[in-house]
Amino acid sequence: MPNRPTRNARRRLVRQLLAQGNVTSQKQLAEALGEAGYSVTQATVSRDLDALGAARVKSDGNGTHYEILDDRFAFKQGIESASKALNQFAETIAASHNIVVIHTAPGAAHLLASALDGAGLHEILGTVAGDDTIMVVASDGVSGNDLVEKLESMGAG
């Protein structure tokens, strides 16, 4: 029996496609899903969009595109949470090439790392937390020093 893609996997892909900001119709989304191996009807696409909290929003210029509205709110909340956590827990922040090391009070590293992960910052590839130290890996094209500046400015707010 062939491996059948799951609804959750399909919805993860829908979320990724919508994040690119260029899905302008349900037909276009269905075609993109088809190219990825998901044979779907317009009704399935409609249910997926509804389940993900997506809606049509105005694009820059003319036209509209689909966007997950909760993501905009969650991103704003994530940034605020990360800023508060940086202000509360970060003791030192230093860089080496594309890696940033953040020292916190004992037992606080996982709280700050979780807040940074939840912020969805494109500059951060990922975090690894110990007890009082976090290693933050900068995304391609972002230097550790640039990331330190960003994190320090966020924590200063």
Q: Where are the alpha helices (DSSP H) in 6-139?
A: 7-19, 26-35, 42-52, 69-89, 109-119
- Rounded Cα distance between 113 and 135, Å, is 9
Q: Is a pLDDT exceeding 60 seen at residue 1?
A: no
Which pLDDT does position 71 carry in this prediction? 56
Which pLDDT does position 126 carry in this prediction? 94
Phi, psi of 11, rounded to the nearest 5 degrees: -70, -30
Q: Which helix (H) or strand (E) holds 94?
A: strand 90-96
- The residue extents of the domains of the chain are 7-52, 75-156
Residue 36's Cβ-count burial label (10 Å; 0-12, 13-18, 19+) is: middle
Q: Is a pLDDT exceeding 90 seen at residue 103?
A: yes
Enumerate the β-bridge partners of residue 94: 101
Which pLDDT does position 139 carry in this prediction? 94
Class of domain 75-156: alpha beta
pLDDT tens column, 104-146 = 988 889 989 988 988 888 899 999 999 999 999 999 999 999 9
Q: Is a pLDDT exceeding 90 seen at residue 52?
A: no
